[in-house]
Amino acid sequence: MDYRSNVTYITFGGHVEVHKYRYLYFMVMFTVYILIISSNVTIVCIIMIHKNLHEPMYIFIAALLINSVLFSTAIYPKLFIDFLSEKQIISYPACLLQWFSYYWLAISDIFLLSIMAYDRYVSICNPLKYTTVMRKTTVNLLLFFAWILPAVFFLVAIILNTKKEICHFNLKGILCNSTVQTLHCVRSRTLNIYGLVNLVTVLILPVLFILFTYSRILVVLYRCRGVRRRAAQTCLPHLLVLINFSCLTAYDVLLLRLELNSPKIVRLIMTLQAVIYHPLFNPIIYGLTITRIYDHLKRLFCRMV
């Protein structure tokens, strides 16, 4: 703690030989960040520009990709600073802000994935009702709640955290995540219970809903010709992202409660997967595998060449 400025600073202890490989870390992560921004923004712009993509499915894809840009922007600039700094530190208020942004946008991803699953469920299982159910007002409300509800959940957690006194000033990771609670002088039972309630509400229930909707979709597709190919195109990429994302999120959330003493390199790899995999591969999975978007991308690159 810096008593002169009355600001509490937290040290990140999860970096692996950052002093030796600082420039390599910086160049690799900076390249990844540029790829994330450019790929996601390109597809979002294509969806915005072309009117034949102004449909619920593509709007939800655009929202998911915007989330990836916001998530990366909340994490990567601080990592760049840490890689090039002698000390990897952050003020406690800034740490709480990063913690809030990290989980707000991550859980918003889960909500958006649930909305996309519901959209596909209505489209395939109840096609005659699709235009009635997925109206513009409904789409806007779903997007609103996908961003607002996670913010409310974690805003309450932020308020609870700010009321706790901290006695420890070192985090085992490279960013502010669930391990922020290890800084407290006394573990809060209220925070633990609230965290478990959040885990069930914003992760487990949405995942179960997605699995239910896609199981129903698979049943319908099984009765049609070309079932395996169409089922794979419709469900497999979505489910792969969901499974990977759920495992990483569950590891991150349970890390604190199970007090896992995993090696530093394992923690680093798991954290990097969480901040790299989804933002970088979302535009590939939800953009390039969809025919309409892929056609517009081909035309765009042909013009550039």
pTM: 0.88
Q: How far is CA 229 from CA 10, 122, 224, in A?
A: 51, 20, 11
Enter the tokens of residue 150.
């996670």
Q: How far is CA 11 from CA 15, 76, 130, 168, 216, in A?
A: 10, 17, 51, 10, 48
pLDDT band at 37 (very low <50, low <70, confident <90, very high): very high
pLDDT above 60 (res 30): yes
Q: What is the pLDDT of residue 154?
A: 86
Q: Which has more pLDDT, 92 or 225? A: 92
Average pLDDT over every residue of 10-23: 86
122 within domain boundaries: yes
Enter the tokens of residue 30.
């900076």
pLDDT above 60 (res 228): no
What is the length of the chain? Answer: 305
Helix (H) or strand (E) holding 118: helix 92-125
Q: What is the pLDDT of residue 257?
A: 55
1 within domain boundaries: no
3 within domain boundaries: no
pLDDT above 70 (res 232): no
pLDDT tens for 176-226 read 887 787 788 877 777 778 878 887 888 888 888 988 888 888 787 777 665
Q: What is the pLDDT of residue 3?
A: 38
43 alpha-carbon distance from chain centroid: 18
Start-to-end CA span in the chain (Å): 55
Q: Are 30 and 80 in contact (CB under 8 A)?
A: yes
pLDDT above 80 (res 279): yes
pLDDT above 60 (res 268): yes
176 within domain boundaries: yes
Average pLDDT over every residue of 236-265: 68
Q: How far is CA 121 from CA 132, 213, 284, in A?
A: 14, 6, 22
Q: Which has more pLDDT, 215 or 305? A: 215
81 within domain boundaries: yes
Match 């885990």 to its residue by tokens: 199
4 within domain boundaries: no
Domain count along the chain: 1
pLDDT band at 77 (very low <50, low <70, confident <90, very high): very high
Q: What is the pLDDT of residue 2?
A: 45
Q: Which percentage of the chain shows pLDDT scores above 90? A: 26
CATH number for position 224: 1.20.1070.10
Max mean pLDDT among 72-76, 121-125, 186-190, 292-296 falls in 72-76
2 within domain boundaries: no
243 within domain boundaries: yes
Angle at 242 between CA 270 and CA 151, to 5 degrees: 80
Q: Which domain holds residue 163?
A: 9-304
Q: What is the pLDDT of residue 78?
A: 93
pLDDT band at 5 (very low <50, low <70, confident <90, very high): very low
pLDDT tens for 110-125 read 899 999 889 888 888 8
Average pLDDT over every residue of 243-250: 71
Enter the tokens of residue 209.
């809903």
Residue 20: strand, helix, or coil: helix
Determine whether 163 is exposed, middle or buried from the number of CB atoms within 10 Å of its CB (0-12, 13-18, 19+): exposed
pLDDT band at 7 (very low <50, low <70, confident <90, very high): low
- Taking alpha carbons only, the member of 137, 174, 186, 173 closest to residue 255 is 173
Mean pLDDT estimate for the chain:
82
